Amino acid sequence: MYRIVEKRVLNPEVKLMKIEAPLVAAKAKPGQFIIFRVDNVGERIPLTIADTDPERGLVTVIFQEVGASTMKLGSLNEGDFIADFAGPLGTASHLDGLKKVCVIGGGLGCAIAYPQAKHLHRSGADVDIIAGFRTKELVILEDEMRENSSRLYVMTDDGSYGEKGLVTAKLGELLESGEKYDAVIAIGPLVMMKFVSLATKPYGIKTIVSMNPIMVDGTGMCGGCRVTVGGEMKFACVDGPDFDGHLVDFDEAIRRSAIYRAQEREAAEKHACRLRGGDGNA
């Protein structure tokens, strides 16, 4: 059992939790993930590690309540325990030697982009962050991102905060104005990562994306997380989650992410109903 030491509500859709898992905290590197199970009937769900505190043995995860399992996790409080928390899994991001980097986070993706930006900033790189959200009330980690970057550009789809527009618009603007990046790191919805990769391709800028496909075990056993990269079949859980954005088949990945959408919706509705204490007719 793993204890929830801290819980914070970052916005109406996104929560942060610090979980006591000393072995994971001691080993985790940026880009790696964990698999959790809330209880004995729960699914195994992967979440990217947002931060660690090895001294206190804590691992930070940031998640959006999109399905039954994340809703269940979100309903727990400080002092509660979850059944399983395994990791660190996946290959750590290769961030060494990068001097000037543009880190792009889309919505919840900022939670994963942030530790990468922090690592780069602390190792002396010049880091620009473009953080995109749908609207003002969904903005997360603004202070943290500002502290760990040379420049932070906050974008909102509706213009209610920062600049109005998509992250790709800002990226295009920066590239056109002659900014030279060693690499662009894009983490967020698949569609966003696809268009960031398309935008950087003409400039030949190395573009790293972080894939978060459906998986079961997270150790290479199920093959559910397979992605096509440069025409080859890769398993995101062990070969990734980071891949070269110019080689990833995003259309296939978008399609595969929808395999259980109907069942997920049904399970989430059932769960929401249970939480409200309703009888299903509510």
Hey, which residues does 151 pair with through a beta bridge?
Answer: 128
Cβ–Cβ < 8 Å for 144, 61: no
Give the nearest distance from C-beta 173 to another protein in angstroms. Answer: 34
Residue with tokens 């928390």: 85
Residue 196 in the binding site for another protein (CB under 8 A)? no
Q: Shortest gap between Cβ of 33 and another protein (angstroms)?
A: 11
Q: Is 64 in the site for another protein (CB under 8 A)?
A: no
Separation between Cα atoms, residue 209 and residue 217, nearest integer Å:
22
According to CB under 8 A, which one of 19, 73, 86, 110 is a site residue for another protein?
86
9 binds another protein (CB under 8 A): no
Q: How far apart are CA 100 and CA 226, in angstroms?
A: 31
Bridge partners (DSSP) of residue 16 are 8, 62
- Please tell me whether residue 157 binds another protein under the rule CB under 8 A: no
> Total residues contacting another protein (rule CB under 8 A)?
38
How many CA atoms within 13 Å lie on the side-chain side of 210? 31
| 135 part of the interface to another protein, by CB under 8 A | no
Stretch that binds another protein, among 55-63, 139-147, 186-194, 258-266 (CB under 8 A): 258-266
Which among 107, 105, 156, 109 is positioned nearest to 127, based on CA atoms?
105
Establish if 260 lies at the interface with another protein (CB under 8 A): yes
The values of phi and psi at residue 204, to 5°, are 65, 30
Q: List the one residue from 223, 230, 244, 269 that touches another protein (CB under 8 A).
A: 223
Which residues contact residue 136 at a Cβ distance below 8 angstroms, ignoring those fewer than 6 apart?
Answer: 156, 160, 161
CA-nearest of 241, 245, 215 to 230 is 245
The verdict on 66 binding another protein (CB under 8 A) reads no
**Residue 17 in the binding site for another protein (CB under 8 A):** no
Find the binder of another protein among 8, 56, 164, 255 (CB under 8 A): 255
**Burial degree of 183 (CB within 10 A; 0-12, 13-18, 19+):** buried
211 binds another protein (CB under 8 A): no
Binder of another protein out of 78, 99, 150, 259 (CB under 8 A): 259
Which residues of the shown chain bind another protein in the complex (CB under 8 A)?
23-24, 27, 37, 41-44, 68-69, 83-89, 216-217, 219-224, 226, 228, 233, 238, 252, 255-256, 258-260, 263-264, 267
